Chain A
Amino acid sequence: MPRIEFDNVSKRYTPTTHAVKNLTFAIENGSFLCVLGPSGCGKSSTLRMLAGLESITEGEIRVDGKRYNELKAQSRDFAMVFENYALYPHLDVYGNLAMPLATRRLPRREIARRVGEIAETLQITEHLRKRPRQLSGGQRQRVGLGRAIIRDTRTFLMDEPLGHMEAYLRQQLRTEIRRLHEELGATTFYITHDQEEAAAISDQIVVMSDGRLQQAGDLLTLLDNPVNKFVAEFIGNLPISIIPAAVASNFGVPELIVGGARMPLPENRASLIESSISSGGSKLEVGVRPGDIELFEDSAPNRLPLSVTVVEPLGDSAVVVADGPAGRLRATVPADTAPPPGKSVHAEFDPSRLLLFDEAGINIFRTA
Chain B
Amino acid sequence: MTSDSKPISQFNLRAALALGAACVVVGFSLFPLYIMITTALKAESDIFSWPPTWTFSPTLQAFKNAFLLFGGQNVLVFLFNSVLITAASTALAVGLGSMAAYALARFPFRGSKHLAFFILSTRFAPPVAFIVPIYLMFRSVGLIDTHLALILFYTSMNLSFVIWVLRGFFADIPIELEEAALVDGYTRWQVFLRVALPLVRPGLVATAILSAVFAWNEFLLANIITQRDAATIPVYLSGFSASMGIAWGEYMAVGFFAVAPIMIFTFFLQRHLVRGLTFGAVR
| Residues of chain A whose beta carbon lies under 8 Å from any beta carbon of chain B | 51-53, 73-80, 82, 84-90, 99-100, 102-104, 131-134, 137, 147, 151, 157, 164
Contacts and interface: CB of A to CB of B under 8 A. Distances in A.
Interface in B152-194: 174, 176-177, 179-187, 190, 194
Contacts of A75: 185
Interface in B193-225: 194-195, 198-199, 201
Given A103-B184, A151-B184, A89 B281 contact: yes
B183 A76 contact: yes
Contacts of B179: 51, 53, 73, 80, 82, 86
Contact of A86 (B177, B187, B277, B279): B177
Contact of A74 (B183, B195, B199, B201): B183
Contacts of A87: 177, 281-282
A186 to B, nearest CB: 14
B283 interface: yes
Interface of B: 174, 176-177, 179-187, 190, 194-195, 198-199, 201, 277-283
Nearest to A134: B280
B183 A89 contact: no
A141 to B, nearest CB: 11
24 contacts: A51-B179, A52-B183, A53-B179, A74-B187, A79-B183, A80-B180, A80-B183, A84-B176, A84-B282, A84-B283, A86-B176, A88-B177, A88-B180, A88-B181, A89-B279, A90-B198, A90-B201, A90-B277, A100-B184, A102-B194, A103-B185, A151-B184, A151-B185, A164-B283
Contacts of A86: 174, 176-177, 179-180, 281-282
- Residue among A77, A100, A137, A147 with the highest chain B CB neighbour number at 10 A: A100
- Residue among A76, A86, A88 with the highest chain B CB neighbour number at 10 A: A86
Contacts of B180: 80, 82, 86, 88, 147
Contacts of A133: 279-281
A77 B185 CA distance: 7
Nearest to A96: B180
Nearest to B179: A53
A89 B280 contact: yes
Contacts of B194: 99, 102
Contacts of A100: 184-185
A338 to B, nearest CB: 41
- Residue among A75, A89, A102, A132 with the highest chain B CB neighbour number at 10 A: A89
Nearest to A87: B281
A99 B182 CA distance: 11
Contacts of B185: 74-75, 77, 100, 103-104, 151
Which 8 A-B residue pairs are closest in the complex by CB-CB distance? A133-B280, A84-B282, A86-B176, A100-B184, A89-B281, A73-B182, A86-B180, A80-B183
A74 B186 contact: yes
Contacts of B177: 86-89
A85 B283 CA distance: 7
A204 to B, nearest CB: 23
Given A73-B179, A86-B282, A79 B277 contact: no
Given A88-B195, A89-B281, A100-B184, 14 more contacts: A79-B184, A80-B183, A84-B176, A85-B283, A90-B277, A99-B181, A103-B184, A103-B186, A133-B280, A133-B281, A137-B283, A147-B184, A151-B184, A151-B185
Contacts of B277: 89-90
Contacts of A89: 177, 199, 277-281
A74 B179 CA distance: 9
- Residue among B181, B182, B183, B281 with the highest chain A CB neighbour number at 10 A: B183
A104 B187 CA distance: 12
Contacts of A132: 280-281
Nearest to A51: B183
A103 B194 CA distance: 10
A242 B159 CA distance: 64
B256 to A, nearest CB: 38
A85 B184 contact: no
A87 B278 CA distance: 10
Contacts of B282: 82, 84-87
A213 B277 CA distance: 41
Contacts of A131: 280
A82 B176 contact: yes
A82 B171 CA distance: 19
Given A74-B186, A79-B184, A84 B195 contact: no
B205 to A, nearest CB: 14
Nearest to A100: B184
Contacts of A151: 184-185
B240 to A, nearest CB: 46
Contacts of A51: 179, 183
Contacts of A90: 198-199, 201, 277
Contacts of A85: 282-283
Nearest to B173: A89
- Residue among A90, A102, A133 with the highest chain B CB neighbour number at 10 A: A90
A51 B178 CA distance: 13
A91 to B, nearest CB: 8
Nearest to B281: A89
A157 B182 CA distance: 13
Contacts of A76: 183
- Residue among B179, B181, B187 with the highest chain A CB neighbour number at 10 A: B179
